[in-house]
Structure 1
Amino acid sequence: MGNALVFQSDFGLLDGAVSAMYGVACSVNHDLKMYDLTHDIPQYNIWEASYRLVQTMNYWPEGTVFVSVVDPGVGSDRRSVVARTNSNHYIITPDNGTLTHISKNDGINQLRVIDEEINRLPNSSESYTFHGRDIFAYTGARLASGIIDFENIGPEVDPNSYIKLPTKECTRENNKINGTIDILDIRYGSIWSNIGRTEFINLGAKYGDTVEISIENEGKNIFHKLVKYGKSFADVNIGEPILYVNSLDQMAVAVNQGSFTNEYGISTGIDWTISIKVSN
């Protein structure tokens, strides 16, 4: 029966790149179950590739194989790796930071470097710019199908030796908690922070309270307003901002039936900070 194979990339769907990866996987095992996480990662955005994996992975069964291809260093000496997480999922990816959020939230217990002499699409050794097809999709399909075991991927290395993107932890100052804006809910324009619900609730906040929210980018104030903390978007009028708990149990800010991101020009990363202050 085999495990599911899930793809994500920054390729988009305007040409045949994603279809080529599917074709390789299908040629390995015609009965393999294949799915898409997303192919709309912004070009070269390793941070977002890392976050989308942690947003999704634990909702898939144990043994699921994820192939993540956001690879601005393709063809260079960066490693091709397969990580096995503590939850027994597999991530096949360039070693460029894509494992950052998975390692923080779930943990990596084993890491192997792909032996590209063995685990590579036949007759592709002179192709240096499409490892998503030639190495990652091919290896992922063989692993998900059970044609190879994890031990056959290549040499095992220190599970902490992968490239890590810089991150920040949220911090508390009396009745205020500080964090970063990790990702955007792209379709609806809300912002998702790294501040967990528990950390926020420990400030003494309750649904219906008004809190003070400040957002800064490299020391410049972008947003500073009093905002209602609600259970759902309908707790505020259309066009008003709201603080809420998102689907990953993190604190987020949205505009009811609007785009907070577009309205206030917000982006993501450790240079984008958010502070939530609760009145005592």
Structure 2
Amino acid sequence: MKTIIYTFGLFFLCSFSVFSQSKIVVFQTDFGLKDGAVAAMKGVSMSVSQDLKLFDLTHEIPAYNIWEAAYRLQQAASYWPRATVFVSVVDPGVGTERKSVVVKTKSGHYFVGPDNGTFTLIAESLGIEAVHEIDEALNRRQNSQASYTFHGRDVYAYTGARLAAGVITLAQVGKRLPDDVVRIPYQKAKLEANSIVGNIPILDVQYGNVWTNISADLLKKWDLKAGQKLKVTIWDGSKQVFEENIPFVNTFGEVPEGQNLCYLNSLLQFSLAINMGDFAGKYGIKSGSDWKIKISK
């Protein structure tokens, strides 16, 4: 009898550890906060369970900008606890044949939204453990079938909340798909002879600094010294838009006000700035999968 009770207890604990969730849902959209769209998504979530903890990543993704949504997920996700559910809705193809999915990464995080490229970067940085297509017959807000243009509220917030609250397991989201997602092509950071090429995925929009995907680890292979100048060339697609020799420094104050500089940002990635100025604005630099940068000694 004791053996049976002990075995059952172990089974219960193991089952609980597999299916328990963090009850945290983090929202990202391109909706802005001028109307009630975000509040509607949160209301749907709270209707699933009032024990949920709801947070915002951002709702200021530029309209339809799937690439920036992909970057912001990568920027923030790894700092959140395992089992956090991210609901990301930048969905210019809403109502079309693009798949609605839940992605579980090898880090133990969940990502809910359209499979339209939004999960490109988290798939690379966190790894994919499983992808499930959302079965809307089971995981859609009741009596919402007549609505074709607000899946963020009717499908993604609802499914994400059910998953975070432990109402459903990942397997109950819907059928399992191959362990991959739609990918947006871009320039990966790599060494090329005496140069490093990479992408400009995002801007530090508050200050106009230009961030790249060139990591500190890649730069270590050059043994750079503070003050050393690097030749920086930037392209928008095939069009060269910038070229200049710029000093690599540890912090902004190491160059005079108004001077260009290279540095490592808070994510330890190669970046460009003007001390007390707006680098992107001055030189017309933008970001996205088509923007390429090369640095040379």
Q: Shorter-chain TM-score category?
A: over 0.9
Distance (Å, rounded) in 2 between the aligned partners of 1:132 and 1:173: 42
1:214 to 233, 248, 260: 233
How many aligned positions are there? 277
CA contact (8 A) 2:209 2:273 kept: yes
Paired residue type of 1:9: T
Deviation, structure 1 residue 211: 1.5
Distance 1:180 1:2, change over 3 A: closer
* Structure 2: tracts of 5 or more residues without a match: 1-20
The question of whether the paired residues in 2 share the 8 Å contact of 1:5 and 1:67 is answered with yes
- Tell me which residue corresponds to 2:15: none
1:136 aligned residue: 156
Unaligned runs of at least 5 residues, structure 1: none
What SS does the corresponding residue of 1:269 show, helix, strand or coil?
coil
Q: Look up the match of 1:199.
A: 218
* 1:185 match: 204
Partner of 1:16: 36
Change (3 A) 1:136 1:270: closer
> What percentage of residue pairs aligned between the two structures are identical?
48
Within 5 Å, give how 1:29-178 maps onto structure 2. 29-160=49-180, 162-178=181-197
Relative to the length of structure 2, the TM-score reads: 0.90
Task: Decide which moves more: 265-274 or 86-95.
Answer: 265-274
TM-score, structure 1 as length reference: 0.95
Larger helix fraction of residues: 2
Task: Report the CA distance between 1:260 and its aligned residue.
Answer: 1.0
Displacement of 1:257 = 1.9
Structure 2 distance, partners of 1:173, 1:68, is 35
Return the alpha-carbon distance in structure 2 between the equivalents of residues 142 and 257 of structure 1: 46
Structure 1 residue 240: deviation in Å?
1.4
Instruction: Tell me the secondary structure at the aligned position of residue 111 of structure 2.
Output: strand
- The counterpart of 1:243, out of the listed 241, 245, 262, is 262
Superposition misfits of 4+ residues, deviation over 4 angstroms: none
* 1:92-150 superposed Cα distances (whole Å, 9 cap, x missing partner): 01010111001111111100000101111111011000000000001111111111111
* Residues 188-238 of structure 1: CA deviation (Å, up to 9, x unaligned): 111111211121221231222121111122333322112111111122222
> Would the aligned equivalents of 2:24 and 2:164 in 1 still touch at CA under 8 Å?
yes
Point out the structure with max Rg over C-alpha.
Answer: 2
CA-based RMSD of the aligned residues comes to 1.3
> Do the aligned residues in 1 keep the contact of 2:190 with 2:196 (CA within 8 Å)?
yes
Q: Secondary structure of the residue that 2:92 maps to in structure 1?
A: coil
Give the distance between the partners of 1:127 and 1:268, measured in 2 at CA: 34
